[in-house]
Chains A and B, each alone.
Chain A
Amino acid sequence: MSLVVENITKRFSDFAALNDVSFEAQPGEFLALLGPSGSGKTTLLRLLAGLDRPDTGRIDFDGLDYLTLSARDRRVGMVFQSYALFRHMTVAQNIAFGLNVRASKDRPSKAEIQATVQRLLKLIQLEDLGKRYPSQLSGGQRQRVALARALAINPRILLLDEPFGALDALVRKDLRRWLRRIHDETGVTTLFVTHDQEEALDLADRVVVLKDGQIEQIGKPLELYRHPQSAFVFDFLGTSNQVPASLSDGVADFGGFSAPVVSPKALSGAQTVRFRPFDTHLLREGPGFEAKVLSLLPAGANLRLELQSPTGQVFETQHAHDSEASDLCLNDTVYLRPSKVYAF
């Protein structure tokens, strides 16, 4: 067991930023802390780095009691959302900082530091930019320098706070792949904070979903997606359509048509059920939820439709480009039938 977080609670004056949070990370694991803003994910990261202290709870790493160690003794590589690079130092000096500040008996020789910097510059693919200053770099390059600087101290854990938050979509996707590769090469236990579910599911070995300072669910991306434990997780991980239904024996009855139910517990009676845009069929004739086509737009490999029921509710559905949905026109009346619904 590498990182153990147990019963962590942290209050800021009158509101609980974290409430009894516990989880573990395996050695070398890539963990995402996912949640909306204000869910306590950055607070959790700061507690791990030693920049704040929890009110109660325990943080251990390989048997080391982290709460007795100050930030500088934890050897935690932290990449801040603002990158927090040292503006008056070159890229190479930034990366070497963590080695240069060591006490002389632990400090590697000048040549060794030089070699480490070169190796890291190569890793972040900025070999020729060692002499530049942070202000001369693009956002994505700064991000990579911040990562190299954190990696230089050979950290026990790597913590990243919204690592791609400030970058544009294209750079983001590139860096995401690249970060995963760096992680696989270095094998350092990594936690990153994000509010972007796509990023978390795409990148992490496991995802910790936080809501209002509490853990909603921990699981592998697929697990999370296929078996969400709460309505919050379901809604947070993607578009969700909600309809009332009557449940019994794992089947949701909508009056005239029905769909199988996925649920963490056995539910029966009248419930609100949820379904994803792509777990749907569109038919020209009922039974089904009657709706008018409001918009019809391409969304990558799919066709994304917005449908409006006579009561004003808007459904979002997705279908293959070559499905019957592509023959629809605006304001056509269709009947929507979910093929699978979730209930909590």
Chain B
Amino acid sequence: MTVNATPTPGAVPLATEGYKPPKATHKARVLPGFGLSLGITLTYLSLIVVLPLAALLARPWEHGLDGVWQTISDPRVLASLRLTFTTSLLAALVNLFAGLIVAWVLTRYDFPGKGLVDALVDLPFALPTAVAGVSLCSMYAANGWVGSLFAPLGIKIAYTPLGIFVALVFVGLPFIVRSVQPVLAEFDAEVEEAAATLGATPLQTTLRVILPSLAPALLTGFSLAFARAVGEYGSVIFIAGNMPFVSEITPLLIVIKLEEFDYAGAAAIAVAMLSLAFLSLLLVNALQLLLSRRGRA
């Protein structure tokens, strides 16, 4: 049992100083089962996550380090990695703003059809990605509803990186909305009112008070949307056009390698992708930690 109450020298305590209840250890809990639940957790994670990834890591080395390096330093692979990660990042960034606004509207206002709108948000979760890909493609092709509006301007959406971006925005939206919504719903109205009485404009209240409180949730949503976008396959291949060096995403390249029976090459690209994704998530987690240090100690 630890008590984190550090008496501050010099201060005249009027009230009892910051006392924190001792952190409950598993021994102090009412419900037993720490050993069992941890055992299940570790076994499950090993089987579902660690083992397949370990197998993947073991796979690419049959042509040695050189073989792996040659596969992933292939300009076509590098171009696909660049495309996959930059479009994913851009899509997640756009969703960060759009998703925040959707979550805001859904929590702050009451309007007819709100339930329907709320349900619509989940549709990209539920829809088979191939279905999404086909419908997006028909919408954004030069002769589709939306595509025909942009075609006269010389902007092609389907079969270009722009099309990939559209598909990734589509699949990423629910992640931001669903991470931010509960936090926004629980936001104490009195905090906003306090900001107003202290002279803050609505914009200042939003930027200085509300957004910083949402930052951890936004970051979580962002990283989920980003991770989903990096791994997205089904919806993208229909709309991307899949031209090497231009609109070919890495997951597709892996499938191509597999179809050529180049299992080691496919695994090498997969490992490269895995490490990049892992690094990105690590970065996000570090940011998250930094945010949670502030005020949520």
Assess whether B12 is in contact with A125, with CB atoms less than 8 Å apart: yes
> How does the 8 Å CB contact mask read for A134-157 relative to B, with 1 for contact and 0 for none?
111111110010000110110000
Q: Find the A residue at minimum CB distance from B19.
A: A138
- What's the nearest-Cβ distance from chain A to residue B203, in Å? 10
A89: which B residues are within 8 A, CB to CB? 212, 295
Say if the beta carbon of A50 comes within 8 Å of chain B: yes
Stretch of B127-135, B169-177, B191-199 on the interface side: B191-199
Q: Find the B residue at minimum CB distance from A89.
A: B295
CA distance A81 to B190 in the complex (A): 9
7 contacts between A and B (CB under 8 A): A73-B199, A86-B191, A87-B213, A129-B11, A138-B16, A149-B198, A174-B15
B14: which A residues are within 8 A, CB to CB? 125, 140, 144, 171, 174-175, 178
Assess whether B194 is in contact with A78, with CB atoms less than 8 Å apart: yes
Q: Which of A51, A125, A153, A171 contacts B198 (CB 8 A)?
A: A153
Q: A87-B296, A97-B195 are in contact. List 15 more A-B contacts (CB 8 A).
A: A49-B193, A71-B193, A74-B197, A77-B197, A80-B190, A82-B190, A87-B213, A87-B295, A97-B200, A101-B199, A126-B11, A136-B18, A138-B18, A141-B15, A149-B198
Total count of chain A residues near the partner, CB < 8 A: 50
Assess whether B295 is in contact with A72, with CB atoms less than 8 Å apart: no
- Total CB contacts across the A-B interface at under 8 A: 123
- What's the nearest-Cβ distance from chain A to residue B11, in Å? 5
Assess whether A72 is in contact with B18, with CB atoms less than 8 Å apart: no
- What's the nearest-Cβ distance from chain B to residue A200, in Å? 21
Say if the beta carbon of A128 comes within 8 Å of chain B: yes
Q: Which of A125, A134, A153, A174 contacts B295 (CB 8 A)?
A: A134
Assess whether B199 is in contact with A153, with CB atoms less than 8 Å apart: yes
B294: which A residues are within 8 A, CB to CB? 88, 133
Total count of chain B residues near the partner, CB < 8 A: 33
Assess whether B194 is in contact with A84, with CB atoms less than 8 Å apart: yes
CA distance A75 to B197 in the complex (A): 7
Assess whether B188 is in contact with A127, with CB atoms less than 8 Å apart: no
- What's the nearest-Cβ distance from chain A to residue B45, in Å? 31
Q: Which of B9, B15, B197, B209 contacts A175 (CB 8 A)?
A: B15
In the complex, which of the residues B11, B12, B15 has the most CB atoms of chain A within 10 Å of its own CB atom? B15
CA distance A76 to B200 in the complex (A): 12
Say if the beta carbon of B62 comes within 8 Å of chain A: no
Contact flag A82-B297 (CB < 8 Å), given A51-B193, A72-B196, A75-B199: no
> What 3 A-B pairs come out closest when comparing CB atoms?
A140-B15, A98-B198, A133-B295
B16: which A residues are within 8 A, CB to CB? 138, 140, 171
Chain A interfacial positions (CB closer than 8 Å to B): 49-51, 70-78, 80-82, 84-89, 97-98, 101-102, 125-129, 132-141, 144, 149-150, 152-153, 167, 171, 174-175, 178
Q: Find the B residue at minimum CB distance from A132.
A: B18
Assess whether A88 is in contact with B212, with CB atoms less than 8 Å apart: yes
Assess whether A51 is in contact with B196, with CB atoms less than 8 Å apart: yes
CA distance A85 to B12 in the complex (A): 22
Q: Which of B17, B190, B212 contacts A138 (CB 8 A)?
A: B17
Q: Find the A residue at minimum CB distance from B8.
A: A128
A144: which B residues are within 8 A, CB to CB? 14-15
Chain B interfacial positions (CB closer than 8 Å to A): 8-12, 14-19, 188, 190-191, 193-201, 204, 208-209, 212-213, 215, 294-297
Q: Which of A86, A128, A175 contacts B11 (CB 8 A)?
A: A128
Assess whether B199 is in contact with A98, with CB atoms less than 8 Å apart: yes
- What's the nearest-Cβ distance from chain A to residue B19, in Å? 6
A140: which B residues are within 8 A, CB to CB? 14-16
Q: Which of B18, B199, B201, B213 contacts A141 (CB 8 A)?
A: B18
CA distance A241 to B95 in the complex (A): 67
Q: Find the B residue at minimum CB distance from A100.
A: B208
Assess whether B194 is in contact with A125, with CB atoms less than 8 Å apart: no
- What's the nearest-Cβ distance from chain A to residue B182, in Å? 16
A97: which B residues are within 8 A, CB to CB? 195, 198, 200, 208
In the complex, which of the residues A101, A126, A137, A175 has the most CB atoms of chain B within 10 Å of its own CB atom? A101
B193: which A residues are within 8 A, CB to CB? 49, 51, 71, 78, 80, 84
A132: which B residues are within 8 A, CB to CB? 18
Contact flag A101-B200 (CB < 8 Å), given A78-B194, A135-B296: yes
CA distance A132 to B293 in the complex (A): 11
Contact flag A84-B190 (CB < 8 Å), given A51-B196, A141-B15: yes
B19: which A residues are within 8 A, CB to CB? 138
Q: Find the A residue at minimum CB distance from B15.
A: A140
- What's the nearest-Cβ distance from chain A to residue B233, in Å? 38
Q: Find the B residue at minimum CB distance from A76.
A: B197
Assess whether B188 is in contact with A84, with CB atoms less than 8 Å apart: yes
Assess whether B297 is in contact with A135, with CB atoms less than 8 Å apart: yes
CA distance A71 to B199 in the complex (A): 7
Assess whether A72 is in contact with B17, with CB atoms less than 8 Å apart: no
B18: which A residues are within 8 A, CB to CB? 132, 136-138, 141
A141: which B residues are within 8 A, CB to CB? 15, 17-18
B201: which A residues are within 8 A, CB to CB? 72, 101
CA distance A87 to B209 in the complex (A): 9
Contact flag A71-B15 (CB < 8 Å), given A86-B209, A128-B10, A135-B297: no
CA distance A89 to B213 in the complex (A): 10
Contact flag A49-B197 (CB < 8 Å), given A126-B11, A138-B19, A140-B15: yes
